[in-house]
Structure 1
Amino acid sequence: MQPAETIYIDEDTVGCDGGGGALGHPLVYLTLSPKGSVDCPYCGRHYVQTEAGKAAGGGHGH
């Protein structure tokens, strides 16, 4: 089994569809934990918030 892909984002919420196509899964919206990361329950992708996203208040301009 391949290790989960890590994706760096500037937001504190992310939509994951597993990459779409035949190998994808239903679109789910995931909210990052206070530590700035979340794993997709379908495909295992690991989303990590960048330092720039944390500094910008999660990318929402706060």
Structure 2
Amino acid sequence: MQPVETIFVDDATVGCDGGGGALGHPLVYLSLEGKGQVDCPYCGRRFIQTEDGKRHSHGH
């Protein structure tokens, strides 16, 4: 089994389509608000919000 792909993001909401164009999955929007990280239910990609992104999402 391949390790989960980890993607660092600055935003509190991310869109994931699995990459790979037609070989991906339907576009889903995932919220990191209050969690700091979220895994895509389709492909398992893990999105982690950076410290800079956390500051911006809380208006600081």
Fold shared per TM-score above 0.5: yes
Aligned length: 59
**2:20, 2:26 → 1: CA distance?**
9
1:46 aligns with 2:46: yes
Q: 2:41 corresponds to which letter in structure 1?
A: P
For normalisation by structure 2, the TM-score amounts to 0.87
Alignment gaps of 5+ in structure 1: none
Aligned-residue sequence identity (percent) comes to 69
Instruction: Give the C-alpha shift of residue 32 in structure 1.
Output: 1.1
- Look up the SS of the partner of 1:56 in the other structure: helix
**1:31, 1:39 → 2: CA distance?**
10
Calculate the aligned-residue CA RMSD, in Å: 1.4
Q: 1:19 corresponds to which letter in structure 2?
A: G
**1:14, 1:51 → 2: CA distance?**
16
